[in-house]
Structure 1
Amino acid sequence: MAVNIKIYHNPACATSRNTLALIRNTGHEPEIIEYLNTPPNKRELIDLIQSSGLSIKEALRKNVEPYTLLELDKIPYNDDQIIEFMLKYPILINRPFVKTELGTRLCRPSEIVLDILSQPQLQAFAKEDGEVIINEHLQRVK
């Protein structure tokens, strides 16, 4: 059975790395889009956000320099303006977004990805910080 999984990934982000590892723990290799190098186009970005059930502002990463410089917390930009900023500065796109046949989610925390994976985890799993997500009985802990 073909499994189609796409992750918008930042390898420098522990949450993104943990999410990717949980996907791989099903035995499947996702399509990995390093969105800082290959950002989504406007239609793709809007689709990711809408299909995940988030507002534009909920998909916005706040603890990065462009957020502060653009005063995104002070100036009442509309959604289209915020999308344009996200396209110009992809670091403003929160991550990791994962898209599967079961839906799209912003996987923060990383174990949210388990809600949209159709295949079970193959072995116990702990995040990089040691937090157990899948125990030795292959049961979800978190």
Structure 2
Amino acid sequence: MADRQNSTSQISEQTWDALYKAAAEARERAYAPYSEFLVGAALLMESGDIYAGGNVENASYGATICAERSAICSAVAGGARRASALLVITDTEQPAAPCGICRQVLSEFSDDLPIMMANTQGQRVPTSLDALLPFRFGKADLDK
């Protein structure tokens, strides 16, 4: 837990609050007519810009995009490439972690990433990409 705390403590409380607000607003705009499970995510990029996204479901379930990947797509479209922090918000009793696909995609844009999992009741649980995806596949694996 100490490593997780150290990772997330590099980000100011004010910044986490801004990420929470952006993620909560994106969650409200999410499109989830099938599961009704709204998720919001906000990414702080190295530039200091915040990019948010909500999940977007599709009747062909495999075409659904998670909030975290929605936020990454927004960041990339805005010209950003390196992530500094992520906050994910759900309306669940316990805050939820990014799914496996999102973890892998996030690893493309950060060596490690402080992650705050939050719920709409204001509970926050700190973690990191290293804790959630310790043996990730990356560019170094392709350079062999």
Which is bigger in relative contact order (C-alpha 8 A, separation at least 6)? 1
Structure of greater Rg:
1
Query: Shorter-chain TM-score: what band?
Result: under 0.3
